[in-house]
């Protein structure tokens, strides 16, 4: 069940009606949480009921280990308990996400040295499916156990409340990755909703659906036309070398806008749905395409993942409290781990490395002056856009051979004369891409201009009516419904 489907709309309306009906009863909080817990299991089980076993394991594993850790006084034993807990969490994630990748690489290594066994298929588990959202709920549950170990929070005694924290359906499958001190605390409080919160929630829902079904899903055919589907690419790998530099850079940028609208759109829907339930969530994206340098871009992109890596990888390594070069090492480790988190493919690891190098280069080259002027800011915006366009190509490519083929074509063709199809001539491709992406850049620009993500609900009544109505009709008339979310693959 995906947000951009009729089944989810009906599901959510039923849950919402039952949820607020319980507000009239004395036991409303327990009843509302029980309803949300059942609804969350139904929501996750709609993909495959077998996957429920994984989220139940994660829930019980972290629940009991956190209680054990909290009641243990010996620090050495507590550390061992934490290590065992994290091994259990990440072994499950690693098996489903990385087993085929690493077993395949091992076979290639053994083959290179001449000791590979007959047939490499024995290293691969055919049709190994990545459970939806496993990276997100694993990271969230692990962070909770680490925080209990650090005595930052107390272990939750109420198992149903903790289970709801792990499986809360608005943010279960694609984040945001919430801290227990925020979400678990909110789940234990009485809720209410007023006109202002409802208006913000409806705006976030419309904003999210617009980004997902109008922008991202209409960009998808243009981006996929350059990358091709996997079967076509494998049958004709030289296809990627027939596009010119302009098309390659524009496609990289178009893909980054696509994945931004796909993921941020889903996050806005989660935010709006949760607001209608009276439960706040963390805003996951902060207009990243207006960033003027790589460090700022990644601070504004998937903020809760960056926060997770900062708290549980960067700072334990020493963060910025170490020497300058050790600090740069820590930054690179974070970006390499982030690349690996996204999937079992060398493209993700290289993407993480290139992103880390760009942040390191910026840190080494930046001046200590105050805020840059307009000219410097504009130059930084342009350079940063070129950089994320190139890294977007690496991230989206099926393998590094396709990346090299793209760069080969970019060195050969600087206009449309080398194109293999007139449909992707730069003169035709550019206006089609810009037409689609302009509205979302305009909306983000308004948030930057008014310095508020809720800028719309703070405007005059006619603006608060005209903009949502316009977006609603664009969703109805131009929306592509039922398409999967890109980040479900991560």
Q: Which residues are catalytic?
A: 342
Distance separating alpha carbons of residues 142 and 57, to the nearest angstrom: 13
**Would you give the DSSP letter of residue 311?**
I
Asked whether the beta carbons of 309 and 334 are under 8 A apart, the reply is yes
Tokens of residue 253, six digits: 């940028």
Distance separating alpha carbons of residues 248 and 389, to the nearest angstrom: 8
Contact residues for 400 (Cβ-Cβ < 8 A; gap 6+): 346, 347, 350, 394
The string over 387-424, giving b where at least 16 C-beta atoms fall within 10 Å of a residue's C-beta and e elsewhere, is bbbbbbbbbbbbeeebbebbbebbeebeebeebeeeeb
Distance separating alpha carbons of residues 408 and 351, to the nearest angstrom: 18
Distance separating alpha carbons of residues 397 and 229, to the nearest angstrom: 10
* Cis amide bond preceding 385, omega within 30: no
Percent helix, strand, coil in the chain (nearest 5)? 75, 0, 25
Helix axes 180-187, 134-149, angle to 10 degrees: 100
């Amino acid at each position: 069940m995906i947000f951009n489907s009729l089944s989810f709309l009906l599901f959510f309306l039923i849950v919402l009606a039952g949820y607020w009906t319980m507000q009239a009863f004395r036991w409303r909080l327990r009843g509302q949480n029980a309803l949300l817990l059942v609804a969350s299991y139904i929501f996750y089980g709609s993909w495959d009921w077998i996957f429920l076993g994984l989220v139940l394991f994660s829930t019980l594993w972290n629940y009991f280990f956190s209680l054990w850790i909290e009641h243990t006084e010996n620090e050495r034993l507590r550390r061992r308990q934490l290590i065992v807990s994290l091994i259990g969490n990440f072994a499950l994630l690693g098996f489903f996400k990385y087993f085929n990748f690493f077993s395949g690489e091992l076979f290639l290594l053994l083959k290179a040295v001449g000791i590979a066994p007959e047939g490499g298929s024995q290293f691969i588990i055919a049709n190994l499916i990545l459970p939806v959202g496993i990276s997100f709920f694993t990271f969230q549950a692990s962070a909770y156990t680490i925080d209990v170990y650090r005595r930052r929070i107390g272990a939750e005694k109420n198992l149903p409340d903790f289970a709801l924290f792990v499986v809360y359906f608005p943010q279960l499958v694609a984040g945001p990755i919430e801290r227990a001190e925020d979400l678990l605390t909110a789940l234990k409080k009485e809720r209410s909703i007023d006109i202002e919160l409802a208006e913000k929630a409806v705006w976030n829902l419309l904003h999210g659906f617009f980004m997902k079904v109008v922008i991202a899903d209409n960009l998808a055919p243009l981006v996929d036309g350059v990358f091709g589907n996997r079967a076509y690419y494998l049958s004709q790998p030289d296809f990627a070398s027939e596009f010119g530099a302009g098309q390659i850079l524009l496609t990289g940028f178009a893909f980054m806008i696509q994945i931004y609208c796909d993921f941020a759109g889903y996050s806005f829907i989660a935010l709006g749905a949760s607001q209608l339930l009276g439960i706040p969530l963390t805003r996951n994206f902060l207009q990243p395409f207006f960033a003027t340098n790589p460090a700022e871009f990644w601070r504004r992109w998937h903020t809760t993942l960056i926060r997770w890596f900062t708290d549980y990888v960067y700072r334990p390594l020493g963060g910025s409290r170490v020497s300058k070069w050790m600090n740069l090492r820590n930054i690179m480790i974070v970006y390499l781990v982030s690349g690996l988190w996204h999937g079992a493919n060398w493209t993700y690891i290289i993407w993480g490395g290139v992103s880390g190098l760009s942040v390191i280069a910026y840190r080494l080259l930046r001046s200590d002056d105050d805020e840059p002027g307009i000219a410097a800011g504009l130059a930084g915006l342009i350079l940063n856009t070129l950089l994320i366009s190139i890294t977007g190509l690496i991230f989206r490519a099926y393998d590094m051979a396709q990346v090299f083929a793209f760069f080969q074509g970019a060195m050969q063709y600087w206009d449309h004369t080398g194109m293999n199809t007139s449909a992707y001539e730069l003169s035709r491709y550019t206006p089609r891409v810009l037409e689609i992406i302009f509205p979302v850049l305009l909306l983000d620009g308004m948030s930057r201009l008014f310095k508020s993500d809720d800028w719309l609900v703070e405007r005059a009544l006619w603006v608060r009516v005209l903009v949502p109505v316009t977006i609603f009709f664009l969703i109805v008339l131009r929306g592509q419904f039922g398409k999967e979310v890109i980040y479900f693959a991560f």
